[in-house]
Structure 1
Amino acid sequence: MEGPTPHTVLAVGDEPDFLERLSHLLGSKGFRPVCRQAANALRPEDGVIHAGILDVFSTGGPEGLELCQDLRRRCPDTSLILASPFFNNRTWRQTAAASGADCFFNKAWPLELLVSDVRYALECHKPTLATGRILPAGAPKAVVADDDPEWRKLICLELELAGYLPYEADTGRRALLAIGRLRPDVAILDYLMPDFSGPECLEYIHKNPRMHRVPVIIMTDYKGLELEERCMSLGANDFVLKERGARVLLLRVLKSRTRRAHWPTDPLKAGPFYLDPQSRMLLADGHRLPDLSPGEFDLMSILLENNGKIVPWEDVERRLHGGVAAHGASATPSAKMTISRLKEKLGRKYEECVVTRALSRLMWKN
């Protein structure tokens, strides 16, 4: 009786020794390795490619980044990992994110780690269900990344009881692989993890065209306004202290889903501004402005949707954080941070344009 068909893993690079060792290790772990140099890397006889490992410096054809983009177009559901000796460098990680790769691997790390991540990427579609409940196929999905297994499982249990399909990750890299594979309704990341921190993962998610619309909540044991400001500036939807408990975190998750439901689907135009909801690209007089975080995107959407109107703060809070503010309340510290960052990205010229066009004078006064 034949066993299950092994998963096919495409490995592309220009270092024969690297490819040989990787091929041997993949084969020993039950995969079907297909190792090639970059030229004509993908061939019809390969069949379905379940995962790809691409050397950024592949020669003999497209560069690794271009090959990643090409494979992403041709194999949209394939998990792709970029390999390079330079991925401890922030700029390289951002480049990998922009190419659409699900994750990255530093070639100085043990190959066993890479193969382990490949296996995780191919199996992460299995949710962590502890209660035995049968959830509908269309249930919302949540990725929970934390190196503390007890806390991680507690969060997953709360999510499951609330009707979510929870998926576990114990490192930052695996969180990225799960987010790329699943495109969840929310991702919950620990601030500190063994390989890459929550903020580093957040930055990768924000730069990745496949992931940037996934709401991200950062959780941590550490207090401090600076930590929250850093995470929110990198694109976090929320920031939660673990000491407040799993139930509070669950409430923030539910609020993030409410907030996501309000996102516009069609481009918004007002005055000199054009905002594309799909890419979160903001243009002013035809010129692209700096990328917006989710909070900044929401705030700019409110401004453009209410061109010439004054928006009550309770409506702003509902959109920004999914919460409810008291009637007549002023801006919360988190909302003030979002306003400040948006004004900085607009620059003096367009900040004044927003004010004089009275998109929402009340917000700018607060």
Structure 2
Amino acid sequence: MSAGILIAEDEEPLRVLLRYNLEAEGYAVEETDRGDEAELKLRESVPDLLILDWMLPGLSGIELCRRLRQRPETRGLPIIMLTARGEEADRVRGLSTGADDYIVKPFSVPELLARVRALLRRAKPAEIADRLTLGDIELDRVQHRVRRAGQDLHLGPTEFRLLEFLMRQPGRVFSREQLLDGVWGRDVYLDERTVDVHVGRLRKAVGHGGAPDPIRTVRGSGYSFDETFR
């Protein structure tokens, strides 16, 4: 079951960006643009992680964080605080109120995703597996190692990230634009043909020795990891 994340952020473009990238990572995402609505949602159901803006209408993020830490049901809820306040005193205040992590806007989406994974790994280790295994391919996130049928595959760092991204959601078709965003990040401007080049390199690496190709090309749409390959 996917880890659930609630985004409480009143800047719509940022909220949409976060939801898009978190869902691409395989998380189940809910969102709200008000602090008081976030509090109601959290009383109804507690997610696995909360991404919380400092300044929210209805109820500030800093006050909501304080209240959540007073309730037994949400005392251990992992919270990442988003804010435009970068001063040391503000960071100290945010962390002392109970936030587990503190990210100053503007920020790198890949960095935020890495912090989400790190927090979930500590809070709910079962939700973030160290290994992904599909068919005879095993990807080890900790050792940064890929094996097929027990044999090591030699992948470059980009091909490793590309394979990991596709294996997280087997069967789902990703456009080249989605792969650029998910693997390279939205702050990097590359031609979509870059994806084709790296998919080709990935296919060559995982298909060593004539093994079946697990990467499926969907004409006019993009690529997916074929969940039925053997």
The TM-score range, normalised by the shorter chain, is 0.5 to 0.7
Alignment partner of 1:249 is 2:120: no
Task: Report the counterpart of residue 212 of structure 1 in structure 2.
Answer: 75
Task: Report the counterpart of residue 129 of structure 2 in structure 1.
Answer: none
Higher relative contact order (CA 8 A, sep 6+): 2
What residue ranges of structure 1 are gaps of 5+ in the alignment?
A: 1-137, 263-366
Match of residue 85, structure 2, among 214, 222, 231: 222
Query: Counterpart amino acid of 1:254?
Result: R
- Superposition deviation, residue 261 in structure 1: 3.6
- Superposition deviation, residue 250 in structure 1: 1.5
Alignment partner of 1:197 is 2:60: yes
- Superposition deviation, residue 183 in structure 1: 1.0
Counting matched residue pairs gives 126
Alignment partner of 1:170 is 2:33: yes
Q: Deviations over 1:295-328 (max 9, x none)?
A: xxxxxxxxxxxxxxxxxxxxxxxxxxxxxxxxxx
1:217 counterpart SS class: strand
Write the distance in 2 (CA, Å) between the matches of 1:254 and 1:176.
Answer: 23
Match of residue 258, structure 1, among 121, 136, 139: 121
- Superposition deviation, residue 195 in structure 1: 2.0
Q: Deviations over 1:11-61 (max 9, x none)?
A: xxxxxxxxxxxxxxxxxxxxxxxxxxxxxxxxxxxxxxxxxxxxxxxxxxx
CA contact (8 A) 1:146 1:190 kept: yes
Bigger Rg over Cα: 1
Write the distance in 2 (CA, Å) between the matches of 1:261 and 1:165.
Answer: 15
- Superposition deviation, residue 236 in structure 1: 0.7
Q: Deviations over 1:143-198 (max 9, x none)?
A: 00011111111111111011101101111011112222221110000011122211
Query: Hey, which bits of structure 1, 4+ residues long, moved more than 3 A?
Result: none
What residue ranges of structure 2 are gaps of 5+ in the alignment?
A: 126-230
Query: Counterpart amino acid of 2:6?
Result: V
Query: Counterpart amino acid of 2:87?
Result: G
User: RMSD across aligned C-alpha pairs, in angstroms?
Assistant: 1.6
Match of residue 146, structure 1, among 3, 6, 9: 9
Write the distance in 2 (CA, Å) between the matches of 1:225 and 1:257.
Answer: 25
Alignment partner of 1:188 is 2:44: no
1:210 counterpart SS class: coil
Write the distance in 2 (CA, Å) between the matches of 1:140 and 1:180.
Answer: 18
Write the distance in 1 (CA, Å) between the matches of 2:62 and 2:97.
Answer: 7
Task: Report the counterpart of residue 156 of structure 1 in structure 2.
Answer: 19
Task: Report the counterpart of residue 99 of structure 2 in structure 1.
Answer: 236
Write the distance in 2 (CA, Å) between the matches of 1:166 and 1:147.
Answer: 16
- Superposition deviation, residue 258 in structure 1: 1.2
2:106 counterpart SS class: helix
Write the distance in 2 (CA, Å) between the matches of 1:142 and 1:170.
Answer: 14
CA contact (8 A) 1:179 1:187 kept: no
Write the distance in 1 (CA, Å) between the matches of 2:111 and 2:37.
Answer: 25
Write the distance in 2 (CA, Å) between the matches of 1:174 and 1:250.
Answer: 24
1:244 counterpart SS class: coil
Q: Deviations over 1:236-263 (max 9, x none)?
A: 110011212322212111111012147x
Write the distance in 2 (CA, Å) between the matches of 1:214 and 1:181.
Answer: 14
Query: Where do 1:275-354 residues align within 5 Å?
Result: none
Write the distance in 2 (CA, Å) between the matches of 1:232 and 1:215.
Answer: 12
Write the distance in 1 (CA, Å) between the matches of 2:51 and 2:18.
Answer: 9
Write the distance in 1 (CA, Å) between the matches of 2:47 and 2:105.
Answer: 22
Q: TM-score, normalised by structure 2?
A: 0.52
Write the distance in 1 (CA, Å) between the matches of 2:74 and 2:124.
Answer: 17
Over the matched positions of the two proteins, sequence identity in percent amounts to: 30
